[in-house]
Amino acid sequence: MVKKMKFPITRMRRLRKNSRIRNILSETKVNPEDLIYPMFIKESLKDGQQEAIDTMPGQYRYSLGDAVNEAQRLEERGLSSILLFGMPEEKDELGSMAYNSEGIVQMAVSRLKEETDLVVITDVCMCQYTSHGHCGIVKDDEILNDETLNYLSKIAMSHAEAGADIVAPSDMMDGRVGAIRETLDENGHDDTLIMSYAAKYASSFYAPFREAVSSAPSFGDRKTYQMNPSNILEALREVELDLSEGADIVMVKPAMPYLDVIRMIKNEFNVPTAAYQVSGEYSMLKAGIDAGYLTEDAIFESLISIKRAGADLIISHYAPLFLE
């Protein structure tokens, strides 16, 4: 029979009496290899011309050369993985530069695989590359699901051919994981992983990112393909479908407003799970810190909360700060 714990024999404060004791008894830890750093690479920039992102203070749009240099610097400090977003010089209705073998992301992947040992992940979507800013093919102001799948597969294929370790479809078109998996397998890239943005919500927390990569839609919104923030059971269905189609890793985006979703997905499926601490989360914390309302401890507390909720991997713009 277990004795009931009671004061003064049981003193919980003994477990917290100094920083060394607290550290060795930490139940949850964020490690450098848990973090993925998202980088924005702009085709029109010359080396040495990195652009500050006004809506995300401390973050930049990089030229190809500067992106590689920054990735190398972060790798030396312990970073293991990077997520690439491209900003092309030219856009069209079909987002053709997204699958061009000489596109900015494809060139970045090749350089990074040659010059670093980082795990290179690529965002597979069309919004930065289309003239209308939507994540798929548009006809009469309607985003066409099935017609988009071929284009997403071409994008993923071009990334895999450049050497990407993981492709990450973020568009939220139905069936895109299966289409991408089939295309990769048929073309000899069966070892390329798919990290699916499985539960991607139609969130106001994306606003700074849209300015960062100039991807705001020219009409309407993305609520017909991104998820309703009110729904959690729908997220489970999305994850189940993506896994059945061949996803290796599933993602929840955003992270902090959806910690309950992360936990439920981890409990239900117990598969590698990522969470994206998005631009709005970054900028919100940064503004609070810069105003003196918060300290930088809030950053580490937020990362711990995401890991504690069940995320194995965290995509965060705060990765460089964590590695300091």
* Pairing relationship of beta strands 313-316 and 35-42 according to DSSP bridges: parallel
Residue tagged active-site, from 154, 253, 286, 307: 253
- How big is the chain, counted in residues? 324
Q: Which residues pair with 143 in a beta bridge?
A: 138
Cα of first residue to Cα of last residue in the chain, in angstroms, is 49
253 is catalytic: yes
Indicate the pairing of strand 60-62 with strand 51-52.
antiparallel
Residue 269: other Cβ atoms inside 10 A: 15
Give the tokens for residue 30: 């964020």
C-beta separation of 241 from 287 below 8 A = no
Among the listed residues 91, 60, 32, the one whose alpha carbon sits nearest the alpha carbon of residue 217: 91
Determine which one of 42, 200, 286, 307 is catalytic: 200
Q: Identify the CA nearest to 91 among candidates 140, 159, 44, 48.
A: 44
The C-alpha atoms of residue 153 and residue 99 are separated, in whole angstroms, by 9
Residues assigned a catalytic role: 200, 253
